[in-house]
Structure 1
Amino acid sequence: MTTPESISKTMERGTLALFVAAAAVIGLLLLLPPLRQIAHMAGGRTPVGLLTDAEVPHVGSAGGAGIESATFESAWVIATGLSDSTRGLVAAGVGFGALTAAITAGAVAYFFLLLLWKRPFHRSLVVATQIAGSALLLGSLLSGGLGGLGRMMAASELNPIAGDVFLVAFSFEPGVLLAGVAVLALSFVFDRGQRLQRDTEGLI
C-alpha cells in the first residue's frame, strides 16, 4: 500500500535526481562555448573579446530621444594570423575557464548524488568542495591572467590594422574569487558535519 511517507520519499528522490541532471546539463552548456572557441583556434581562427572605447555612431536629435555621447565597451573579433604565443595564451585562458566550470559543475552534481544516496556528509564531499573551491580560486586567476595577457597581445597586434580602436587591457570579474572562498568555507562546514555525524553514530 502506498503511504504518504513513501510518496514523499519518491518525490524527494525524483527532485534530487532532477537536480543532478540539471547540474550535468548546465556543466555541459558551460563547456560548449570554450570548446567551440578552442576548436576555432586549432583551425587558425582566434575568436577573442577585446576592450575598446570606440565611439558609437550617432547624430543629433531636434526632439525626442537622443544620444549625447556613446562608446563601445568591447568587440568580439575573429582574428587570423596572430602570433603563436598570443593564440597559446588565449587558448590557455579559455581552457582553464572551461576546466574550472567542469570541476565546479561536477562538484555540484556529486553533492546532489550524495543527497540522493542519503550520505550528505560523506568525507569525499569535503574533498570535492575543496577541489571545487580551489579550482574557482586558482582557475579564475589563471584563466583571467593568461587569457587577459593573450587578449592584450591580440589587441596590440591588431591595432595597426584597426586604427588603434582596441585597448591594450583586459577586465577581470572578482566575483568568481569570492565564490571560491565561499565554497572553501563550505567545505569546512561539511567537514564539521561529517565529524559530528561520526561522533554521534550509535548514540541514537
Structure 2
Amino acid sequence: MSRNTTPSRLEAVTLGVVATGAVSIAIASVVGATGAAVEIFGSPVPVSLPVHDVPMDDMADAAGVVAAEYTQSLVSFDSLAAGTRWLLWGESALPALATVIVCLSLWWLGLSLIRQRAFRRSMAPVLGTAAIALVFAGMFAPFLGAVARAQVVEQLPASDAGMFWTLLYQLDPAPVGWGIALALVATAFEVGQRLQKETEGLV
C-alpha cells in the first residue's frame, strides 16, 4: 500500500471492523478485571484451590472408568489478608492489562492501515510493548496466583491442608509464544520502516 493509493471500500470496512472489535475486547477485559476485583475484595472470597490424591468415589464403579480424582476445589473464605487478595486480583488483572495493550495496538495498526501509514515510526514500539506485555503477563500472572493460593493453604487447618498443593505454578506457554510472535512482527515493521525511508530517499 503506497501513499498514492487508498484502500478499497471492502478493505476499509474490514479494517474498521477489526479496529472496533479490538476496542470492544479491551473494554470487556477491563469489565472482567473489575468484576474480579469486586469478588476478590468482597466477602466471602471464593478461591479455586488445586487438590491432589482426592479420588472421585462416585465414579469408582462406572463402566469404562479406570481412575477418577478431583483436581480443583472452590473454597469460600469469610476473610483473607489484603496481600493475598491483591495477589489473587493480580492473577486476573495482568492478563486483562496485556489484552488491553494488545487490542489497542491492533486498533492503532488498523487505523494506520486505513490511513495508508502502516510503517509509521510509532508502530514498532507499540507492537513491541504489546509483545512484552503478553510475555510478562503469561509468566507472572500464574506465579502471583500460585503464591496467593499457597498463602491460603497455610491458613487452613493441618488436617485439611494436606489435600491441597502447597505451591503449584502452572505456566501456560501460549501467551509467551504469542508474545514472541508479536515481537517478530514488530521487528518486521521496524525493517519495513527503514526500507521505506531508503526508498523515499532514492525517489
Is the CA contact 2:15–2:111 (under 8 Å) kept in the aligned structure 1? Answer: yes
**Match of 2:41?**
42
Equivalences for residues 111-130 of structure 1 within 5 A: 111-130=109-128
Is the CA contact 1:140–1:177 (under 8 Å) kept in the aligned structure 2? Answer: yes
Is the CA contact 1:49–1:74 (under 8 Å) kept in the aligned structure 2? Answer: yes
CA distance in 2, matches of 1:74, 1:201: 59
Q: SS of the counterpart of 2:37?
A: helix
**Match of 2:55?**
55
**Match of 2:97?**
99
Q: SS of the counterpart of 2:59?
A: coil
Which has the larger displacement, 118-127 or 134-143?
134-143
Shift of 1:46: 2.9
- RMSD across aligned positions (CA): 2.5
The code of the aligned residue for 1:127 comes to: P
**Match of 1:197?**
196
Which has the larger displacement, 122-131 or 170-179?
170-179
The code of the aligned residue for 2:172 comes to: E
**Match of 2:8?**
9
Question: TM-score, normalising length from structure 2?
Answer: 0.83
Q: SS of the counterpart of 1:198?
A: helix
Question: TM-score, normalising length from structure 1?
Answer: 0.83
Shift of 1:78: 3.6
Which runs of no fewer than 5 residues in structure 2 stay unpaired? none
Which has the larger displacement, 191-200 or 150-159?
150-159
Q: SS of the counterpart of 1:82?
A: coil
Q: SS of the counterpart of 1:72?
A: strand
Which runs of no fewer than 5 residues in structure 1 stay unpaired? none
CA distance in 2, matches of 1:159, 1:18: 53
Is the CA contact 1:47–1:77 (under 8 Å) kept in the aligned structure 2? Answer: yes
**Match of 1:167?**
165
Query: Quick one: which of 107, 110, 115 aligns to 1:109?
Result: 107
The code of the aligned residue for 1:80 comes to: D
The code of the aligned residue for 1:102 comes to: V
Shift of 1:13: 0.4
Shift of 1:148: 1.9
Which has the larger displacement, 155-164 or 96-105?
155-164
**Match of 2:178?**
179
Number of aligned residues: 196
The code of the aligned residue for 2:37 comes to: I
Q: SS of the counterpart of 2:77?
A: strand
Shift of 1:123: 1.2
For residues 133-189 of structure 1, give each alpha carbon's deviation from its aligned partner in whole angstroms, at most 9, with x where no partner exists: 111122333322222211222233346585643222232212212222221222111
CA distance in 2, matches of 1:162, 1:87: 21
